[in-house]
Amino acid sequence: MFIIVNKNTNKVKQTIDKNYGIEVGENELLQDVNADFMTKLNTAHNYELIFTDGVVTDITVIQTIAEYEASLPPVVPPKTELELLQERVIKAEEVSRGNSLANQELIELLIDMEVI
């Protein structure tokens, strides 16, 4: 396997199974890597490449993809139409109860004032 490394960012830009005579840019490095390196790279979300004399010799995985995904907040699925309808019914019931209480208080006030 081969990797193309961006020399400015020291990150892998691309992985390639064979070197088909690929030409790399001025700020890129074409590097042959072993299966162990690729295994580490494929599990890494955040990593550092280790260079020796301008050649990638290893990779240090700082955070795996699994660790990164575990650190994300859980995804809350959108509410269904039924759930939205149930919420609207509950709110309408609360408003109705509030109106009933307000009406009852108004009736009691009018009674106290001997209007009715």
Residues 6 or more apart from 87 whose CB is under 8 A from it? 79
The predicted-structure confidence for 34-76, as pLDDT tens digits, reads as follows 999 999 999 999 999 999 998 999 999 999 999 999 999 998 8
Dihedral of the alpha carbons of 84, 86, 88, 92, in degrees to the nearest 10 = 180
Confidence (pLDDT) at 103: 75
Confidence (pLDDT) at 52: 92
Confidence (pLDDT) at 72: 95
- What pTM did the predictor assign? 0.60
Report the alpha-carbon distance of residue 28 to residue 24 in Å, rounded: 6
With tokens 């390196």, the residue in question is 37
Domain range summary for the chain, segments of one domain joined by +: 2-70, 77-112
